[in-house]
Structure 1
């Protein structure tokens, strides 16, 4: 890996750790604020956001630990690094969020059956406005970090904090409607709708985590970009068996590059190094494995396989 890649990795590690610490701190502040608001109002909608913030704190703390582990350099036992710890953390987050949604649905259902008026609505509204502002600042920072690092764990964290803003806004609406229309069932109804929303983004986080853990390929446009970078080199005559996967902060790229079969080994190595540098200009955090082959050998392999199949069928 080049010095450029090492510098990028250090910067990535620092950004991810800062974002993780910021998420834990924000969650703790919001827990204190919402706990006070729920104690004074008795609103089940505020209770939903309090439980959500408690789970946010647990998930963000788990995220922090996972990120520390994921950023540990590769060692003898883990040659490809520890990046999948990020995927495991995101998977755990989806389980946490699903559990909170089910709990809140039960609470909302009970309150729908036995509605209770909400008191001190103004305090609840003020706390929710504060929560939205604090969460907005956090998510802006998280999105900037995700854009620079591609971290799926920070992205999962940011996703459910964005959900929190929607939840907090809906709680404000529920408190306002409940106060001025004097309809006590509005509060638990909104809590039930919020729970359904939470379940939907729990599924989104689960899917992203599963993609990482199952080594899903990069999107087609990214794979196309890699192929174009390789084939842009004047000495490269062909490319096949491109394989890509993401593991935490690391991107792994592997492919077979076809060159003139008559060139010297040292020259083919130099070409591979040049191609490696070109790819690292676009993907500085990539681990690249290039296998050099004589041009046309892949076609020969296919032809031989077809002939062997024909012989087998004839026999």
Structure 2
């Protein structure tokens, strides 16, 4: 099943849960259940964004977008993260209002049943989405998987709160647990923002990823003198890697090109979705360069 179909599966499951949670929340009078309905509606919006962005990011490069459309996924991930922030703040606001004006909850077991059902559905779908995100290195899908997984935890939390309210009659437990869950949502959103936003500013790949790339380059050091201007960045599911490679002045164009090809192929084995650009320079030209950045 491809990523577009997985994203659509998330849209359908969230649509069902939004309707169930909001209807049951209004009927029972539980602010925690209504908050979960709002949370799921943001999950639905996130799933729609992921569905659209995954389809757009797969488009090949064109005359306007020479580097492809991969960053659409990073934009999507950032928007989804902002939606999680909004959800967390809104839930806290509603819970504080309910904390100051506690009200009895009607048929709490109906709310518990819906929460448990939603938790099971979202757990299954989140695992499927997360697996696809890892396979495709899709930031939009990864963000969507986090949305779904946080919904699992919050749904379970609401189910527990409704059970305790029914057991003790302490109606303030409903908004208190809602606030705790909202804080958890905001913290998770912050973590995701740190991953989805930097690529929009062309931040480098992680230190571990760059270390792997540099090790591959150095494994061919018998064929070149040095390299410099090493740069990396991420665009959606793809890595972009470029650097200048200084080769002996007696190399002809074919030998230099063959060396670059071998290095590129080794990098592609580790990073199959990457775009690698190697600029070969003769030793004599390198000696005239005033600014040196040596990564060897």
TM bucket by the smaller chain? over 0.9
Instruction: Give yes or no for the alignment of 1:182 onto 2:181.
Output: no
**Cα separation, 1, equivalents of 2:292 and 2:148:** 56
1:201-224 Cα distance to aligned partner (Å, 9 max, x none):
222232222111011111111111
Match of 2:239 in 1: 251
Match of 1:86 in 2: 73
Cα 1:142–1:299, aligned 2, differ >3 Å: closer, same or farther? farther
How far 1:294 sits from its partner (Å)? 2.9
How far 1:303 sits from its partner (Å)? 7.6
Instruction: Give yes or no for the alignment of 1:168 onto 2:194.
Output: no
Match of 1:44 in 2: 31
The answer to which of 32-41 and 278-287 deviates more is 32-41
Is the 1:231–1:237 Cα contact (8 Å) retained in structure 2?
A: no
Query: Which one of the candidate residues 217, 229, 235 is aligned to 2:223?
Result: 235
Q: Please, what is the CA RMSD of the aligned residues?
A: 1.9
Instruction: Give yes or no for the alignment of 1:143 onto 2:130.
Output: yes
Could you say what secondary structure the match of 1:244 adopts?
Answer: strand
How far 1:300 sits from its partner (Å)? 5.5
Match of 2:263 in 1: 275
TM value normalised by structure 1: 0.87
Instruction: Give yes or no for the alignment of 1:107 onto 2:106.
Output: no
**Cα separation, 2, equivalents of 1:167 and 1:42:** 18
Is the 2:102–2:171 Cα contact (8 Å) retained in structure 1?
A: yes
Cα 1:40–1:166, aligned 2, differ >3 Å: closer, same or farther? same
Match of 1:206 in 2: 193
Is the 1:85–1:248 Cα contact (8 Å) retained in structure 2?
A: yes
Match of 1:7 in 2: none
Unaligned runs of 5+ in 2: none
The answer to which of 115-124 and 294-303 deviates more is 294-303
Is the 1:139–1:162 Cα contact (8 Å) retained in structure 2?
A: yes
Moved over 4 A (4+): 295-300, 302-305
Equivalenced residue count is: 292
Instruction: Give yes or no for the alignment of 1:68 onto 2:55.
Output: yes
